[in-house]
Amino acid sequence: MSFSCLTTIVLLFGSVLALVKDGSDEIDRLALLEFKARIADPSGALSSWNDSSHFCDWDGVTCGRKHRRVTILDLRSKSLFGVVPPHIGNLSFLRGFNLQNNSFHAEIPPHFGRLLRLQNLSLNNNSFSGQIPSNLSYCSNMLFLNLGYNMLKGNLPTELGSLSKLQGLVLQFNSLMGNIPPSIGNLSSLQMFGTLMNNFGGTIPETLGQLRNLKILALGGNKFLSTIPISIFNISALASLDVATNQLEGGLPGNLGFTLPNIKIISMWQNHLTGPIPESISNASNLEVIQIDRNNFTGKVPSFSKIRGLYWFNSYINNLGGEQSTDLDFLCSLTNSTKLKILVIAGNAFRGLIPDCISNLSTTLSMFGLAYNHISGTLPFGIGNLINLENLQMQGNSISGTIPYEIINLNKLTILDLSHNELLGQIPEFFVNLRMLLKLDLSSNNLWGSIPSSLKICQNLLLLNLSTNNLSGYIPPEIMGLSSLSIYLDLSRNSLIGSLPVEVGKLQNLGELHLDGNRLSQ
């Protein structure tokens, strides 16, 4: 007898034995083979799925110890392309199924509803389409359901409200629509609920306030209307509340800082929210991110002195301040926030002076935006302490006095915009240190003297605007030779003299050049 014949007999005998021993594991084997048959596997991730070994030894397959049935199928990030066949519903011992980050398409088969032991289902980052099968509601042991980053459409099935053990429901980046069913409020174990970037609409159901264990609520990037139900602010476990880019209106409850003691992230940007930032927020000492830009908040900004971990405060385009000359005093309360990175209060109604205490803001600060307010007084020289600033924008105020020479310390600056103010005096020769500058805008001030030749150091400059000042003298040839200038060069409306340097020919990539309103000769 030849060796191969013997092998065949042994193999045959083996599988007959397996069938006799326990026919049920053959069901799993067939389901896995059926699964493989519908998949293109360019990287050979499933090459071990062949008859030379028991399926419990195949890559990505985990079996139970007692009965050799599939309990976990983990095929994440295997470059697989295909569809999930209905046979998946035969893997009745399956507890975990992870297909994330592949290229599966077509519908999610309702046969998952037969997997009563299923705890984790991760189908995120594929191209699944069609509706979410309501049959998933039969998976009564489900703990985590992640369907994010697919092409799912239609409504969120009301029936999913029966998954009483569910801890995580993630649906982000799909095209789901309609209301969030109030039954979601029945998911009493839920810790994370994410619907970011879908087409959900209507009002946010009040029943979500029943989710006492909810830590992360991410509803941003939808079409939710009306007010945020007050019950949401009652979920004391909540650490992250994201309702950004919806059409929400109304105000925030005054006691928010007490009812949400664990809140770390408040993201509400781009809505129609009104009223004051609740003073009690001062007591929400775990806050790290407050993103309320593009709303219509009004009034005084409360103190942040207890919020030491705050690293992001953005209130761009609201209606804050406007009451007194002490509007900006809250900036001093931020000197205790040792991780502060982003501080943007541009586009509000702030009045008064920039307090000297800004010199004590954390040196971690990288973006400081005060533009388009009604700020007056001088720019404190202590700005030079903020040595990690990359982006300093104070345009569109009434800031007077000279430009502090201390800006020379800010050698990471990429954007410096002090335009449309009342600054006077000479432009300091501080550019020797500002090699990273991409954009410099000092236009529409009362600056005089000549254009500093140290600007030639700024070899990365894309945009330079010094127009509408009283600058005099010749245009330094080195400036005209800055070949990086590719967006905009505006020296118009000054008192510059002489002829245009021949170096202008080097500005081959320049989008716009304005030199009018000077006394240049041909």
Ligand X SMILES: *[C@@H]1O[C@H](CO)[C@@H](O)[C@H](O)[C@H]1NC(C)=O
- Positions touching ligand X (CB under 6 A) are 27, 30, 47-48, 50, 52-53, 72, 77, 79, 86-87, 89-90, 95-96, 100-101, 110-111, 113-114, 119-120, 125, 135, 138, 144, 149, 161, 182-183, 185-186, 207, 209, 230-231, 234, 257, 279-280, 282-283, 296, 305, 319, 332-333, 335-336, 356-357, 359-360, 382
Nearer to ligand X, 129 or 135 (CB): 135
How far separated are the first and last CA of the chain, in Å rounded?
103
Q: How far is the CB of 198 from ligand X (least distance, A)?
A: 15
Nearer to ligand X, 158 or 472 (CB): 158
Q: How far is the CB of 44 from ligand X (least distance, A)?
A: 8
What is d(CA 435, CA 409) in angstroms, rounded to the nearest whole number? 11
Q: How far is the CB of 1 from ligand X (least distance, A)?
A: 24
What is d(CA 35, CA 56) in angstroms, rounded to the nearest whole number? 15
What is d(CA 406, CA 426) in angstroms, rounded to the nearest whole number? 14
- Tally helices (H) and strands (E) across the chain: 5, 40
* Helical packing angle, 3-21 and 24-37, nearest 10°: 120
Amino acid at 267: S
Q: How far is the CB of 207 from ligand X (least distance, A)?
A: 5
User: Which of 37, 22, 110, 122 lies closest to 72 in space, CA to CA?
Assistant: 122
Nearer to ligand X, 119 or 195 (CB): 119
Nearer to ligand X, 305 or 376 (CB): 305
Q: φ and ψ at 181, to 5 degrees?
A: -60, 135
Nearer to ligand X, 75 or 461 (CB): 75
Strand partners, 311: none
Nearer to ligand X, 246 or 518 (CB): 246
Given a contact cutoff of 8 angstroms between Cβ atoms, the answer to whether 470 and 446 are in contact is: yes
Nearer to ligand X, 234 or 286 (CB): 234
Q: In the bound complex, which residue of the shown chain has the CB atom lying closest to ligand X? A: 96
By DSSP bridging, strand 61-63 and strand 70-74 are antiparallel
Given a contact cutoff of 8 angstroms between Cβ atoms, the answer to whether 506 and 484 are in contact is: no
User: Which of 464, 476, 418, 472 lies closest to 445 in space, CA to CA?
Assistant: 418
Query: Six-digit token pair at 478?
Result: 């080195």
Nearer to ligand X, 354 or 457 (CB): 354
Query: Six-digit token pair at 175?
Result: 């095209």
Q: Give how far Cα 441 sits from Cα of 234, 371, 418, Å.
A: 46, 12, 6
Q: How far is the CB of 465 from ligand X (least distance, A)?
A: 28
